[in-house]
Amino acid sequence: MSNKSEICIKKEKIIIKNQITKNKYKKSFPSNPKYVFKAFFCLKKAQIKKLFISFIIIFLFGLFNNINIIGNPQPENKCYNDKIHDITEFLNYYFRGNDKFRKFFTILGSLAIDILFLISSILWAIYSIDWRYFINIMLFYGIRYIMNESSRLRCPDLIYLPYPGVPSIVVGYIQGSDFFFSGHCGFPILSMMEFIWVKKFWLASYSVFVILVETFLMEISREHYTIDIIVGVIFAHYITIYGRKIVDFFYDKIPFLKKLKKKNIDEMKKLKFNWILMD
């Protein structure tokens, strides 16, 4: 038997097998609405388990949204209730009452994020081949500004972060109500993601340190609600991902930017820096 005949026979077998599979699928899951109910008796065990879990989820949603069993706030109740603020209340009183500790930790938080901002800006200026990093920053703070202008929140109880006597580049000590979401904890994520992409993990580690310091400071000073910190971190993470895609899209589609990016790459290669380009 020739090779061509063998190949033809194999192809026929594959076609027949696909047709059998297709017919079996149609038999199990009919398109005609009259036979959909009968199709449930053809489900596999794994499908039945997932269907059972789906029904449980549907039931729980209906239960929680129609019966007051999980402490939903009522009109006469106090709506603001931050559990983490309640847990760290003793630290807040210590922060308010101990002037030396307050100044030290406030200056530490401000200095840490200022250094991170300077490092990120300088490294972007030296090693980057596009404007992605600052576009991400503008997206992050632009959306934050819109949210705070559209909905103003009242100050958390016991908020206290006075001027420590040392000025800061990034941290403003003017009391306001721009709480949602946290720029103090979101900005280090923007920098951390950039450092990870260029494989400078020691700088990414410093960003993590800044996040921890800022989170602790924001909690004990009541400068932010806990939800502000959580959303700030998550939002900054996704801003860096989608900001990268947006910039790559425009740099690939617009001839002028595409040419400029290539020119920047060629110039950077000539300098022979021991650094992965921030592309």
Residues 49-74, mean pLDDT to the nearest whole number:
70
Please state, in angstroms and rounded to a whole number, the distance separating the CA atoms of residues 210 and 220: 16
- Residue 77: in which H helix or E strand, if any? none
Q: What is the pTM of this model?
A: 0.71
The pLDDT of residue 174 is above 90 = no
Q: What is the pLDDT of residue 102?
A: 92
Neighbours of 213 (CB within 10 A): 20
Kindly indicate the confidence band of residue 101, based on its pLDDT and cuts at 50, 70 and 90.
Answer: very high
Please state, in angstroms and rounded to a whole number, the distance separating the CA atoms of residues 54 and 34: 23
Tokens found for residue 88: 């760290």
Of 251 and 269, the structure prediction assigns the larger pLDDT to: 251
Q: What is the pLDDT of residue 108?
A: 94
Q: What is the pLDDT of residue 34?
A: 59
> What percentage of the chain has pLDDT greater than the value 70?
73
SS3 track for 174-226? CCCCCCCCCHHHHHHHHHHHHHHHCCCHHHHHHHHHHHHHHHHHHHHHCCCCH
Contact yes or no for 257/250 (Cβ under 8 A): yes
Of 3-12, 171-180, 269-278, give the lowest mean pLDDT range: 269-278
Residues 238-263, mean pLDDT to the nearest whole number:
81
Residue type, 74: Q
Q: What is the mean pLDDT of the chain?
A: 78
